[in-house]
Amino acid sequence: MSAFIPPFCPWKGCSEHHLPSSKRPYQAYLPWGSYPTKAFGRVPRFRCSSCGRTFSVQSFSLDYYAKRVVDYQDVARRLSSCESLRAIGRNLGLSCDSVSNRISRASRQAIAAESRLASSRHPDEDLAADGFESFCVSQFFPNNIHLLVGQASQFVYASNHVTLRRKGRMTKAQKRRRSELDERFRPTPRGIEKGFSRIATEALRLLSDSSRESLVLWTDEKLEYIRALEGRPVFAALEAAGRFRHRRVSSRAARTRANPLYPVNYFDRELRKDLHEHVRETVCFGRNVNQQNERLVLYLFGHNYGKPFRIAGELRSHAEVAGYDGASIRAELELIWTRRAFLSLTDLTEDQREVWLRLRRTPLKEGKQYLPKYAAA
């Protein structure tokens, strides 16, 4: 640790708080002693001569404010192998809160890495979008997780989450219970339409990043999808110019590889079998919307950048098949489990920001969810 060189000042208001650059290296710091820790030994401190604030090596570590060393990759692998939080904690000798804390830290790392890698993407494929249905807190609060997936690569370009009002067949007692819960929590009206509108916005970003002249977005026949696009004049203009086409296929069509929605159907299946909280009839369902989204983000990162596109024959990741640079991916994977990402230095989409800052509402929970200060710094 004694050879550590601070890449920048970690305090947001400082003029030296910027991404490392060879043209503007950070030199305005002085050694400022050290302090002892049980988990990390003696940790060197520094003082920024620009703003006068002090910081340490741990300020740049994923384990900032942590009191115990945990293998983040092991936690992520176990989470993506259908282990519940309690099972992960039992196997690693951790409490459920400690497991959730490490998943939360790792999810912000995944978001930041995704943001950096997306800045150099050049997609060359059509897209498929659909909603994955699950629930959180109770089956009276189902949710719809929209997914935007590349047709050729099965790379998940975007996702978002909306809580819905329970629908379908119910007993009289269940209807009474739903009415009681409606008094305490009402989901956002037209949630599916609004969520899909965000997915469509991401499709536009992909079109602008691509060298293709046109893009096809495949969905099923939900009326909410049609209304979301009809409410955005930009899509009508692009369709008239031949640059964008929205194609629909029945959700009852056979879910074979010939189905244009196969990429998103394939990912739905993977999600259903790999994340314990989404397994049918599970007792390990999510209790908190923001933490459920953090687990999803971490799983998505593993699917996109770590998982082989095909176990037999094609060993590249889904991201590499989608056109992402393999060397850049490997460089990110070397740092994601160690070097802390800073919100102030990360360019996020609206959905990514909501997950990072835990801004989504959990049914029946009052007030904002706790967010560590270092996460918002």
Quick: pLDDT tens for 76-135: 999 999 999 999 999 999 999 999 999 999 999 999 999 999 988 889 999 999 999 999
Question: For the chain, what is the mean pLDDT?
Answer: 94
**Sequence-ordered alpha helix ranges (H) in the chain:** 72-79, 85-92, 96-118, 172-182, 191-209, 223-230, 233-240, 262-274, 289-301, 318-321, 326-335, 350-356, 373-376
Structural domain total, the chain: 2
What pLDDT score does 25 carry?
Answer: 80
What pLDDT score does 22 carry?
Answer: 67
Asked if the structure places residue 82 within a domain, the reply is: no
**Sequence-ordered alpha helix ranges (H) in 243-376:** 262-274, 289-301, 318-321, 326-335, 350-356, 373-376
Give the model confidence (pLDDT) of 6-15 as tens digits.
999 999 999 9
Q: Considering only CA atoms, which of 223, 222, 246 is closest in space to residue 234?
A: 246
Domain identity same for 269 and 357: yes
What pLDDT score does 28 carry?
Answer: 87
Asked if the structure places residue 49 within a domain, the reply is: yes
Domain identity same for 165 and 216: yes
Asked if the structure places residue 89 within a domain, the reply is: no
Which residue type sits at 331?
Answer: A
Give the model confidence (pLDDT) of 162-181 as tens digits.
999 999 999 999 999 999 99
Asked if the structure places residue 64 within a domain, the reply is: no
Q: Report the predicted TM-score, pTM, of the whole model to 2 decimal places.
A: 0.94
Q: Are 156 and 265 in contact (CB under 8 A)?
A: no
pLDDT at 253 over 90: yes
What pLDDT score does 27 carry?
Answer: 85
Sign (positive or negative) of CA dihedral 49, 50, 55, 56: negative
State phi, psi for 33 to the nearest 5 degrees. 80, -155
Q: Are 80 and 299 in contact (CB under 8 A)?
A: yes
Q: Partners of 163 in the beta sheet?
A: 143
CA dist list (Å): 153 to 212, 362, 371: 16, 33, 35
Give the mean model confidence (pLDDT) for residues 48-64. 95
- Tell me the percentage of the chain whose pLDDT exceeds 70: 98
Give the mean model confidence (pLDDT) for residues 141-150. 97
pLDDT at 357 over 70: yes
Contacts of 29 (CB under 8 A, 6+ apart): 6, 9, 46, 47, 48, 49
Domain identity same for 228 and 331: yes
Token match 């947001």: residue? 12
CA 5 and chain centroid, separation: 30
User: pLDDT-based confidence at 311, cuts 50/70/90?
Assistant: low
Q: Look up the CATH number of the domain holding residue 312.
A: 3.30.420
Q: Are 246 and 110 in contact (CB under 8 A)?
A: no
Order of strands across the sheet with 54-56?
Answer: 29-37, 41-48, 54-56
Domain identity same for 231 and 127: yes
Domain identity same for 267 and 348: yes
What pLDDT score does 3 carry?
Answer: 79
Distance CA 337, CA 341 (A): 10
Domain identity same for 54 and 130: no
Give the model confidence (pLDDT) of 186-237 as tens digits.
999 999 999 999 999 999 999 999 888 999 999 999 999 999 999 899 999 9
pLDDT at 2 over 60: no
Range of the domain at 5: 1-58
Domain identity same for 43 and 181: no
Joined tokens for residue 170: 């119910």
What pLDDT score does 1 carry?
Answer: 45
